[in-house]
Amino acid sequence: MLASLWRLRHFIYPYRARWFAGIIAFGFARGFEVMVPILMAVSINRIAEGNFDVTLPVLGIVGAVSLRYLVVTYARYSVRKTGLNVAFDLRQRLYNDLQDQGAEFFSKYTIGDMMTRAVADISLIQRLISMGTILLVILVYATVAGYAAMLYYSPLLTACMLIPMPMVYWYALYSSRRMGIASREVQDRLSDMGAHVQENLSGIRTIQAMVQEENEIKRFSHTNQAYADAFYEQGRINSAMTAWMPSLADICVLFILGYGGYMVLQGQMPIGNFVAFITLVNMVVQPFRVAGFIVNLFQRAAVASDRLHEVMDLEPEISDAPSGSTPAQIQGDIVIRHLSYRYPGSDQTVIDDVSFEVAKGETVAIMGRVGMGKTTLLKQLVRLLDPAPGSIYVDGHDVRDYPLAQVRAQMALVPQDPFLFGEPLKDNLTYDDPNRALDAIWDAATSADLKNTIEEFPEQLNTLVGERGVTLSGGQKQRATLARGLIRHAPVLILDDCFSAVDTETEEHILSELKRLRQQQTTLLVSHRVSTARHADRIYVLEDGRILENGTHDELLAAKGYYAELERVQREGAEDEDFARARVGV
Amino acid sequence: MAETSDNTNKRDYSMFEADLSGQVLNMHLLGRLLTWLKPYKYQLIISSILVLIASTFQVLLPIIISLVAIDHIFRNESDADTPDFGLIELNTWLTDLSGLHPLIIACAMYAVARLVWAVTGHAHRMTLIGAVINGLRDMRMDLFRHLETRPSSFYDRVAVGRVMTRVTNDVEALYEMLRGIGGLVGEFVPFFVALTVMLAVDVQLTLILLMVLPLLAVVTLYFRRITRHLFRQVRQTLSALNQNMQENLAGLQVVQLSDRQDYNLKRYTDINESNRDFELRSARVETLYGAFNDSLAHIAIGVIIYYGAVEIMEMRMTMGEVVLFTQFIGMLFHPVVVLGEQTNILFRAMASGERIFQAIDWDEKIHEPKNPATLPERLRGEVKFQHVDFAYDKTIPVLKDVSFTIAPGEKLAIVGPTGSGKSTLIRLLGRFYDFVDGQIFLDGVDLNHIHSHDLRRRVGVVLQDFHIFSGSIYDNIALGNPQITRERAVEAAKTVNAHDFITSLADGYDSELTERGQNLSQGQRQLLAFARVLAADPEILVLDEATANIDTETELLIQDALRRLTEGRTSILIAHRLQTIQEADRVLVLHHGQVEELGTHEELLAAEGLYHTLHQLQFQDDDAPNP
| A100 touching chain B per CB within 8 A | yes
Pair type for strands A538-543 and A546-551: antiparallel
Residue B40: which residues within 8 A CB-CB, separation 6 or more? B130, B131, B134, B135
Q: pTM here? A: 0.75
Higher-confidence residue of B545 and A365: namely A365
What's the pLDDT at B43?
93
Window from A3-17, A564-578, B277-291, B583-597 with minimum mean pLDDT: A564-578
What's the pLDDT tens digit per position in A108-161? 777 777 877 888 889 889 989 988 888 888 888 988 888 899 998 889 888 888
Over residues B221-238, mean pLDDT: 85
Over residues B204-212, mean pLDDT: 89
| A76 touching chain B per CB within 8 A | yes
Over residues B116-134, mean pLDDT: 93
Query: Which residues numbered 510-539 in A keep a CB inside 8 Å of some CB on B?
Result: 531
- Whether B422 contacts B442, CB under 8 Å: no
Cα B622 from Cα A532, distance rounded (Å): 11
- Whether A219 contacts A184, CB under 8 Å: no
What's the pLDDT at B134?
93
- Which residues of chain B neighbour A227 with C-beta distances below 8 Å? 137
Residue A196: which residues within 8 A CB-CB, separation 6 or more? A220, A223
CA-to-CA separations, B308 to A53, B66, B136, B301, in angstroms, rounded: 11, 14, 49, 10
- Whether A541 contacts A367, CB under 8 Å: yes
Pair type for strands B445-446 and B471-472: unpaired
Percent of chain A at pLDDT > 70 equals 93
Window from A150-164, A244-258, A535-549 with minimum mean pLDDT: A535-549
What's the pLDDT tens digit per position in A299-333? 888 888 888 888 888 888 777 778 778 887 888 88
Q: Which residues of A195-221 are buried (b: 16+ CB within 10 A; e: fewer)?
A: ebbbbbbbbbbbbbbbbbeebbbebbe
Q: In which band, very low, low, confident or very high, does the pLDDT at A80 lie, cut at 50, 70 and 90?
A: very high
Give the count of alpha carbons within 13 A of B308, CB side only. Answer: 27
Cα B557 from Cα B550, distance rounded (Å): 11
What's the pLDDT at B156?
75
What's the pLDDT at B459?
86
Q: What is the DSSP letter of A119?
A: I
Residue A62 predicted with pLDDT over 90: yes
CB contact under 8 A, A61 and B301: yes
What's the pLDDT at A578?
40
Q: In which band, very low, low, confident or very high, does the pLDDT at B365 lie, cut at 50, 70 and 90?
A: confident
Window from A193-207, A247-261, B190-204 with minimum mean pLDDT: A193-207
Window from A190-204, A266-280, B89-103, B265-279 with minimum mean pLDDT: A190-204
Over residues A161-169, mean pLDDT: 84
Q: Minimal CA–CA distance to B421: which of B462, B382, B391?
A: B391
Count CB atoms within 10 A of the CB of residue B88: 21
- Whether A278 contacts B81, CB under 8 Å: no
Over residues A265-287, mean pLDDT: 87
Chain A interface, mutation test: which of B168, B247, B257, B314, most A Cβ atoms within 10 Å? B257
CB contact under 8 A, B591 and A190: no
- Which residues of chain A neighbour B246 with C-beta distances below 8 Å? 111, 115
Residue B583 predicted with pLDDT over 60: yes
Residue B235 predicted with pLDDT over 90: no
- Which residues of chain B neighbour A474 with C-beta distances below 8 Å? none
CB contact under 8 A, A115 and B246: yes
What's the pLDDT at A575?
37
Distance from CA of B180 to the nearest CA of A (A): 13
- Whether B387 contacts B403, CB under 8 Å: yes
What's the pLDDT tens digit per position in B448-487? 888 888 888 888 888 776 677 777 888 888 877 778 888 8
- Which residues of chain A neighbour B430 with C-beta distances below 8 Å? 209
Cα B326 from Cα B323, distance rounded (Å): 5
Helix (H, G, I), strand (E, B) or coil at B20: coil
Window from A77-86, A477-486, B291-300, B546-555 with minimum mean pLDDT: B546-555
Pair type for strands A397-398 and A392-394: antiparallel
Q: If residue A178 lies in a helix (H) or strand (E), which one and from where to where?
A: helix A165-202
What's the pLDDT tens digit per position in B160-189? 777 777 887 788 888 888 888 877 888 888
Q: Minimal CA–CA distance to A327: which of A394, A404, A405, A413?
A: A394
Sheet holding A392-394, edge to edge: A349-358, A334-342, A392-394, A397-398
- Whether B10 contacts B440, CB under 8 Å: no
- Which residues of chain A neighbour B617 with C-beta distances below 8 Å? 504-505, 578-579, 582, 584
Q: If residue A248 lies in a helix (H) or strand (E), which one and from where to where?
A: helix A213-255
CB contact under 8 A, B283 and A209: no
What's the pLDDT at B622?
31
| A162 touching chain B per CB within 8 A | no
Q: Given B64, B319, B468, which is nearest A48 (Cβ)? A: B319
Residue B564 predicted with pLDDT over 70: yes
Cα B319 from Cα B323, distance rounded (Å): 6
Residue B349 predicted with pLDDT over 90: no
Which residue of chain A has the CA closest to B550? A575
Count CB atoms within 10 A of the CB of residue B341: 15
Return the beta strands (E) in A346-472 as ranges.
349-358, 363-367, 392-394, 397-398, 411-414
Residue A582 predicted with pLDDT over 70: no
CB contact under 8 A, B265 and A99: yes
- Which residues of chain A neighbour B302 with C-beta distances below 8 Å? 58-59, 61-62, 65
What's the pLDDT at B590?
84
Give the count of alpha carbons within 13 A of A229, CB side only. Answer: 7
Over residues A64-77, mean pLDDT: 94
Please give the torsion angle defined by the CA atoms of residues B419, B421, B424 and B425, in that order, rounded to the nearest 10 degrees.
Answer: -160
Percent of chain B at pLDDT > 70 equals 90
What's the pLDDT at A483?
85
Cα A187 from Cα A192, distance rounded (Å): 8
Q: In which band, very low, low, confident or very high, does the pLDDT at A583 lie, cut at 50, 70 and 90?
A: very low
Mean pLDDT rounded to a whole number for chain B: 82
Q: If residue B339 lies in a helix (H) or strand (E), which one and from where to where?
A: helix B319-360
Which residue of chain B has the CA closest to A420? B251
- Which residues of chain A neighbour B149 with C-beta distances below 8 Å? 213
- Whether A419 contacts A485, CB under 8 Å: no
CB contact under 8 A, A54 and B309: yes
Residue B414 predicted with pLDDT over 80: yes
| A225 touching chain B per CB within 8 A | yes
- Which residues of chain A neighbour B254 with C-beta distances below 8 Å? 415, 419, 421, 431, 484
What's the pLDDT at A580?
34
- Whether B375 contacts B382, CB under 8 Å: no
- Which residues of chain B neighbour A209 with C-beta distances below 8 Å? 430, 432, 456, 461, 463
- Which residues of chain B neighbour A189 with C-beta distances below 8 Å? none
CA-to-CA separations, A298 to A10, A87, A141, A291, in angstroms, rounded: 18, 16, 19, 11
Helix (H, G, I), strand (E, B) or coil at A364: strand
Cα B206 from Cα B215, distance rounded (Å): 15
Q: Given A119, A576, A584, which is nearest B417 (Cβ)? A: A584
Over residues B264-290, mean pLDDT: 90
Q: Following DSSP, what letter does each residue of B534-557 receive, concatenated?
A: HHH--SEEEEE---S---HHHHHH
Residue A53 predicted with pLDDT over 90: no
What's the pLDDT at B623?
33
Count CB atoms within 10 A of the CB of residue B534: 26
Residue B6 predicted with pLDDT over 50: no
What's the pLDDT at B86?
86
Backbone φ and ψ of A155, nearest 5°: -60, -35
Q: Minimal CA–CA distance to B305: which of B192, B205, B190?
A: B205
The 3-state secondary structure of A454-466 reads HHHCCCHHHCEEC
Cα A536 from Cα A529, distance rounded (Å): 12
Distance from CA of A518 to the nearest CA of B (A): 20
Residue B7 predicted with pLDDT over 80: no
Q: Judging by beta carbons within 10 Å of its beta carbon (0-12, 13-18, 19+), is residue A127 exposed, middle or buried?
A: middle
- Which residues of chain B neighbour A55 with C-beta distances below 8 Å? 306
Residue B617 predicted with pLDDT over 60: no
Count CB atoms within 10 A of the CB of residue A28: 17
Helix (H, G, I), strand (E, B) or coil at B385: strand
Q: If residue B146 lies in a helix (H) or strand (E), which one and from where to where?
A: helix B102-148
What's the pLDDT tens digit per position in B290-306? 888 888 888 999 999 99
Residue A308: which residues within 8 A CB-CB, separation 6 or more? A90, A94, A117, A121, A122, A125
Window from A499-513, B406-420, B599-613 with minimum mean pLDDT: A499-513
What domains can you pick out in chain A, each with its CATH number?
Answer: 2-312 (1.20.1560.10), 334-417+491-584 (3.40.50.300)
Q: Minimal CA–CA distance to A364: which of A506, A527, A554?
A: A527
Averaging pLDDT over each range in A374-378, B37-41, B168-172, B421-425, which range is the top one?
Answer: B37-41
CB contact under 8 A, A254 and B107: yes
Residue B307 predicted with pLDDT over 50: yes
User: How many interface pairs between A and B have CB atoms less than 8 angstroms apart?
Assistant: 370
Crossing angle for the helix pair B319-360 and B27-37, to the nearest 10 degrees: 90
What's the pLDDT at B150?
84
What's the pLDDT at A210?
78
What's the pLDDT at A68?
94
Residue B92: which residues within 8 A CB-CB, separation 6 or more? B102
Higher-confidence residue of A70 and B496: namely A70
Residue A501 predicted with pLDDT over 70: no
Mean pLDDT rounded to a whole number for chain A: 82
Residue A5: which residues within 8 A CB-CB, separation 6 or more? A128, A298, A301, A302, A305
Residue A374 predicted with pLDDT over 80: no
Over residues B109-119, mean pLDDT: 94
Residue B618 predicted with pLDDT over 60: no
Which residue of chain B has the CA closest to A369? B551
**ipTM of the modeled complex:** 0.81
The radius of gyration computed from the CA coordinates of chain B, to the nearest angstrom, equals 37
